[in-house]
Every structure is written in structure tokens, then in C-alpha cells.
Amino acid sequence: MTEQLLAEEIHTSVLLEECMHFLAPGPKKVFVDGTLGLGGHSAALLTRSAPDGRVIAFEWDENALARSARRLVAFADRLTIVRRNFAELTETLAELGVDEVDGILLDVGLSSLQLDLGGRGFSFRQDELLDMRMDNRRTVTAQSLLACCREEELADIFYYYGDERQARPIARAIVEHRVKESLRTTGQLVDVVSQAIPKRFHPKKIHVATKVFQALRIAVNSELENLARAVDAGVGCLKPGGIFCVISFHSLEDRVVKRKFRENQLLEVLTSRPVTPSPQEVAANPRSRSARLRVARKTIPLEGERG
């Protein structure tokens, strides 16, 4: 199987129809896809906004950007792809001469491409270097965090970003291990985590190192900070009546979005509870099972509030 075929097979856009329902793409509309990935959501937006709708897509990952650009070449005249994080939304749109957009879509977290094609230590299924950068231009890696952070800092990362109840003994074990040998690979980290947690506390439904890997990835890529910045920036970039959709995959992300949507007086929350995939979608794409979609609309100011 070629790498290209593998990428196509593993890519399934989550909650696609639900997002299209809220965003209502059509001619002359302009949308931001803040997480292009392999381009599934952008393809739907471009197809349904023909002949002159436009998408401005953000993508950190150089590999994903190149693949999606090839996939979406037929839409090249209506698609602008920028290799930036969605937290840079305001300045990017200003540089492109775009004042306001009709809708914004963020699909946050780790993509199937990053997980399945491997090579950067996102998964413990293969023994790889502990990198975990979504953008290889960044300087901080998982390996450097494990080497430099104090025990208390590591424990906080595992607890707050991974909800890992054994954060302190894991952090202690890492610090003790790195005195003898640096932690460079996913296999080494899995061994240290497995040995640090007593067998009776090993989770039954997930791998014992799952939460540690999640926490490191979030810390390396400043994911929660960037998500909070993106929501704040996005509201200012929306037209009155514009729609903001965010798909998240774990509670930390979802809490950030829920709080940001509710606190912003310019937003009307359209989803009192997050929209989740149908049983049919979960059966077809098991990875969608934890997806949660929250949607808000930028309010239209009253006549007396204009100007």
C-alpha cells in the first residue's frame, strides 16, 4: 500500500454534515478552516459554496499541508492555504485583505494522518523519537521537555493536560531515569510510565501511557493556549450573524470552547449541549466517538448599537 493511499483511507472528516448544516455554505461566502488537515471539511465548504465561495485554510503540519494542497488543486482559485496556527487568525486575515468572514471551523487535536503515518512520536504503537511537534519549526519537543522540566513541572503537565492521577510518581520516575539515561524514544517513555504506576492502578480501557502522551503533545504544541486565542480572535473576524464551529475530542478542549463561547457577549450559543456523532458515524469511523461540536453565532447589533 502506498503512503498516498494510506492517507486517503485513514481520512474521514468528523461531523461533516452537522458542520455544513450550521455553516450553510453558499456562493460569495468566505470561510476559515482553521485546521485543514487532509482537507475534508474544506472540500465540502468549497464544493457547496460554488461558484465563487472562498476558503482560507490554516495548517501547521507541513506534511498535511502538501497533501491537502494536492487533493484540493481543483479549487486552487478559491482556496488560500497558510502554514500558520489558527491562533494567528487576526493578523493573517489582515495580511490577506479580508475584513470579515461568514464562518469559522476548527477541528482541534491530533489528526489521523499524524497518528497513523508515524515518525514523530505521537503514538506509542511504534518505537519512535519523542518529538510530538505538529510544526517542525518549533523548538520545543517532547524529548526536550522531559529532559529539562523540573519534577513539579512534569507532574503539573501530566495532571492538568492529561488528567493523570499518577502524575507525581510518573514525574519522579522520569527524573530518576534521566539521571542514568536520557529519554529519547516512545518505547523508553512507555517503560518508565508502566513501571511507575502500580499494576493495580493500570487503566483497563486505555493504554497505561495514553494520558502522559496526550499531556506531552498538548504542552509541546501549546494547544489549549492557542485554542483560547483562536476563539477570541475568531469572534472579531466574524461578520454579524457569522457562525463559529469547533470540534474537540477531549474534555480539556471542550471546556475551553464552552467557557469562551459563554463568556463572550458578542456570541449566541446555538448548542446548549455539544453535538456528537450519530451511531452510524461511530460505526463507520470509531475514532469519531469522542468528537464534540459546539456552535455559536455572532450576534447582530441592534440598530441603536451600530456605529
CA distances from 58 to 89, 119, 169, 179, 243 (A): 9, 22, 38, 40, 17
205-210 CB contacts, 8 Å cutoff, 24+ apart: 207/124, 209/124
Q: What is the CATH number of domain 118-221?
A: 1.10.150.170
Joined grid coordinates for residue 146: 522531559
Cut 0.75: pTM above it:
yes
CA distance 305 to 307: 7
- Please report, for the chain, the start and end positions of each structural domain, with discontinuous segments joined by +: 3-113+223-305, 118-221
pLDDT mean over 13-41: 97
Distance CA 237, CA 242 (A): 9
Domains 3-113+223-305 and 118-221 share a fold: no
Rounded to whole angstroms, the Cα distance separating 242 from 238 reads 5
- Give the pLDDT confidence of 50-94 residue by residue, as tens digits: 999 999 999 999 989 999 999 999 999 999 999 999 999 999 999
Tens digit of each residue's pLDDT (9 = 90 or more) over 95-154: 999 999 999 999 997 766 666 666 789 988 889 999 999 999 999 999 999 999 999 999
Q: Name the nearest CA neighbour of 42 among 57, 27, 60.
A: 57
Q: How confident is the model at residue 1 (pLDDT cuts 50, 70, 90)?
A: very low
User: For residue 255, what is its C-alpha cell?
Assistant: 471546556
Q: Tell the CATH superfamily of the 3-113+223-305 domain.
A: Vaccinia Virus protein VP39 (3.40.50.150)
